[in-house]
Structure 1
Amino acid sequence: MPRVRLTDRFVAAAKSDGAQVDFFDEQVPGLFLRVSASRRAWGLVFSRPGERTRARTTFGSFPSMSLSAARGRAIELKSGLDEGRDASVAVREIKSGLLEGELTVKRLAELFLADRRQRGRRTVDEMERCLARDVTPVIGSVAISKVRRLDLSRCTDRVKGRGAGTHANRVAALLRSMLGWGVDQGLLEVDPSHRWKPPSEVGPPRERAFSADEIKRFWHGLETGKVSRWTAELLRFTLVMGCRQGEAAGMVRAELDMERKLWRLPASRSKNGRPHDLPLPELAIDVLKPVLSAHELPAVFPGPRGLPMANTAISRAVQRSQEAIGLEKWTAHDLRRTCATHMAELGVSAFDIGLVLNHASTTKSTVTTATYIKHDYLKEKTAALDLWSERLSAILAELDAAEIVPMSKARRRYGLRKAAA
């Protein structure tokens, strides 16, 4: 291991005859230039605090890192080790070219998630899982000021390599959201995701809605499907109410008013950020009662630890049950589409269906609906859900001639007046 006084001229002219050679610097102990046939890399030999054994690492190459820059980084690392700093952390930072205290992608993700959690975003747990699995292992140690679009593409390409094109798009959207938030907070000067194209083409929206025969096979097939009791009842409840699976999964007893037959979804768990009151038809009550009487946990549909089920657990259960139930490939969200489609067949207006589904396009699309109309539309939602509940009960009872009640008749049945044109 030759020891020389490294100079810019020496480093630029250093060559290898094929074997790898380390030239140690006389000025900064431990710093060395590793010369091979393909590159000239900077490295450092150091000892961990309290240990006699020595370790070494490389942290950059010439000419992208000059001799003076390499000496400075070596001195920073050695001084940190002398002060008792964890050597493995220091090595990771020096490999990524970080300055002392510089913000990394991992740290930005932590700050971003803390802000979202403070704001009560209901998807923060899914964001955390996504960042921990698909972003942090790839570019977590990179200084945020040095992130390029190529680094972002490394994350999404890794996901696409698993055959998960749709999830790759979600990772891209999450990265854009996080980096945009960093700019807004003054943590970034430039957003590297600006004009970054989605990693995968977006496929056509799903159009799957169950027929009456498929509804029967789904409902009764859950008994033999590879799903837990609570997951089966949750999926049935989703079909009856037309709600989002995450909203049903996160339901707690405090949200239910069984005397008034009402489910009060708080704004913190609603996708459009508005509280949503849904009347419970008889079939929904029939699903809920045995569930509520079977346990005393706060979560209506508890997971393995007694907490509300996670969306990922529901999705996995649906995938496991596909073959046992015997339906063409389906998702939990198809149940929501099925509810809406059959309501429309029963004569329920698109506006009333939008109210039941709590779509922003209905409740917040205009100044009139978003600001001026304060009516809760409970009667309209009750009529729509009761019609669907009756129709669904008839389908499950295999009454092929189940009554399809026109909306005009339903209004008379439930004492509703026709809305003014």
Structure 2
Amino acid sequence: MTTWKTFLSALVEPVPNNRPPLAGAQRAWVRALPFVVVLAMMGALLPTGIVALTRFYGVNGGLAAALATVQAGALALALIRPLTAWQLVAPSVLVGAIVTHGEAATQAWPWPVTTLLSYLFLMVFLAIRERGRTLLAVWAVTFVGNSLSWSVFADYFDGTSVVVTALSGVILLLGWSLRGRGEARRLLAAQEQISETERARRTLLEERARIARELHDVVAHHMSVIAVQADSAPYRIEGLPEPAVDEFGQIATAARGSLTEMRRLLGVLRAAETEADKAPQPGLADLPGLLATVAQAGVRAELDLADDVRKLDPVPQAVGLSAYRIVQEALANVVRHAPGATARVRVAAADGALTVDVENDPAPGRAPAVETSASTGHGLTGMRERVRLLAGTLDTGPTADGGYRVAAVLPIDRPATAVDAAPGENTA
């Protein structure tokens, strides 16, 4: 019983999609092509069907016109509802077979040529739109109908039924296979897009976690200093009143509590880290060593540390760390994408901000790019996150001579917030 319900539902429940074939094409003439083909088929089959049924099969003119109109006109409906069109054509084929039976023994029966062409053309629309079980049910009805006509009217039966059965099966199977392949490719493309989005999101979260770890080291240092100074204040400063001593004690207690919470957070962030990740965080003073490391990879880098930067005493640790990481990522990109090129790193200070500029020449000759396992393909994401955190600006892009430039401005004097960073950030 369940099998019959499934079979019948396949014949009466079309796919809920009313878009015509090629509706998603970009070119207008491609979208119009199915309508032009259907119009041409209708213009050819409608008058031809009427003439064939009346002249060669002796069918009444009104009935012949009705049958030809249903069979040819159903092709227009097939553009958006092919199963509904088949539901109209199938009874018309049966009626046509009944009224033409015995009228012309020398003509094709039960499939006049016009009916055969309309039916096979309708199979094309079914194959590219309906589900596999619907296609199987349609072919089964076609096969059973042709088999019954052969069994009951063997004297009038000819090879057209075999042709229709075979060709309809081939068309439905081929269309179903091609459509399945197309759907698989679309699903694969969609999955790749989702995977790329997830990779970008994961990279962003990893970079944010890395920045949080590094900021912990910066903030924890200052909180430790606050705690020590608050604890030692009563011993270093003579004559402090009792309320001041209590106030210093409360400050020390709050600082130690904050350090405890930060250590808990750090334990979560560094759960999977190696010991190397827990080393002291670098700053501007470590740039010469960074450039020496890059030189070993074949990229000659020149450092220009302006005098006004040397006079800063000291550069805020968060700013120095971010400047170091930006230079590190920019030079890593040079190693990967422009091996053998010369890079220039300039760090300057002006108007209360630290400017970091990394520019490289194009790779000489046809040197192949260096692939590194540590590359995530989202290095600029980390740069933008650091700059955003400090309420600075970032400008990246190719230069006129084919090289690449990364320029960042990191404020020194004013506090950074993510809200302030959003409108000022330039991610070009």
Which band: TM-score by shorter chain?
Answer: under 0.3
User: When the two structures are superposed, what TM-score results if normalisation uses the length of structure 1?
Assistant: 0.23
As a proportion of its length, which structure holds more helix? Answer: 2
Query: Radius of gyration: which is bigger?
Result: 2
